[in-house]
Amino acid sequence: MDFIIDMFYKKTETQTGDRFVLTIYPKVNPEEGEMWLRKAAEAQESVAMRVLGYRLLVGQGLEQNIEEGEKWLQKAAEAGEVIAMREWETI
């Protein structure tokens, strides 16, 4: 079975309120996965920004868009996401 990493929005019952949780799900609904991944990235979740950027850069599960991928990867790096910082240095 093919697995992909996606962000899914989950409302918590804790004092932190709503938050995004990184989960791994079987690749059964890529459109919904992309929607939630973008939603998390737009909410400034640094891991979501990195994952979205990478997937856009290489065309993994999304139509390849280098310009947009670089934008999201840079935002993640600027937000302090360590893996994104390393990946951004190689571009």
Segment 17-27 mean pLDDT:
53
Query: Which DSSP string corresponds to the chain?
Result: --EEEEEEEEE-SSTT-EEEEEEEEESS-HHHHHHHHHHHHHTT-HHHHHHHHHHHHHTSSS---HHHHHHHHHHHHHTT-HHHHHHHHT-
Summary mean pLDDT of the chain: 77
26-45 average pLDDT score: 78
- Render pLDDT for 36-73 as a digit per residue (tens, 0 to 9): 788 888 989 898 899 899 989 999 878 999 999 999 99
pLDDT computed for residue 2 by the predictor: 42
pLDDT (average), residues 79-86: 93
- Of 40 and 14, which is predicted with more confidence? 40
pLDDT given at position 91: 82
The angle that helices 82-89 and 46-58 make with each other, rounded to 10 degrees, is: 30
pTM for this entry: 0.74
